[in-house]
Structure 1
């Protein structure tokens, strides 16, 4: 209040709100959210078990299993990189191995394909165990 008893008002110009991301960036975020799937530790362990089982997966299921294992490896690499795991020698080794296996095609020969699936399964399992041991991930089992 002023001495005369009138209420003094302070007015400041209000800036219009602008989103923190541009339209193109928002579209990119939305596109990534649309294809995102939650991490499923149970499915990961089921696929590892299928790859490492004494009885190899059926030939007609091998490509499908390889694709799921590639997805698991990609998610594990993303988790490790986000947690700055590249500073750990074990993580660096696992990240490199996972990236290499993920881009390799499944061999056409039945037994080479089984060997490849087992390498992918073993790496996925080892990577998962490491992430649990360093507490970047909760145990799925």
Structure 2
């Protein structure tokens, strides 16, 4: 009788590989990756400048600018939460303000919409600066 080879011994002791996530969980991860947009500090600052400029955006551009600013706020809040920035009092206040503003509808009246855009822009700028100051972002754009 011969001793079993190393390959034969290993085949008996190694468990078959199973993926760490189920099919449904993998689909969720894939869906989130496909919907992911990288943080673009330059685009954020461009949109903040447009919102806070002395010359307000045209009425036709208010909804589009509001959507972009909401997206910037969403990414900044996600970065802040992941970096545990809520431990910083100023950051926590700005995160809460960003969450509140992000879900508000753009007012139908043009000048109220401009005021809302300015609140969105100001909050995005302040949160961006605070996250840079407490080193949640490598650098401000």
- With the length of structure 2 as denominator, give the TM-score of the two structures: 0.91
Quote the residue 1:71 is aligned against: 71
Higher Rg of the two aligned structures: 1
Matched with 1:97 is 97
Aligned to 1:3: none
**Partners of 1:114 and 1:138 in 2: CA distance:** 31
Which has a greater percent of helix? 2
**1:121 equivalent in structure 2:** 121
Q: Structure 1 CA distance, aligned partners of 2:105 and 2:23?
A: 37
State the number of aligned residues.
136
Instruction: Give the structure 2 partner of residue 26 of structure 1.
Output: 26
Deviation at 1:7, TM superposition (A): 7.3
Distance in 1 separating the partners of 2:48 and 2:138? 17
The gaps in structure 2 that reach 5 residues or longer are none
Hey, what's the Cα distance between the residues in 1 that align with 2:121 and 2:138? 19
Cα distance in 2, alignment partners of residues 138 and 54 from structure 1: 30
TM superposition shift of 1:8: 6.9
Q: CA RMSD in A?
A: 1.4
Give me the whole-angstrom Cα distance separating, in 1, the residues matched to 2:72 and 2:39: 8
Name the residue aligned to 1:132: 132
Q: Tell me the residue number matched to 1:107.
A: 107
Structure 1, unaligned stretches of length 5 or more? Answer: 1-5
TM-score by length of 1: 0.91
Q: 1-side partners of 2:109 and 2:68: how far apart? A: 20
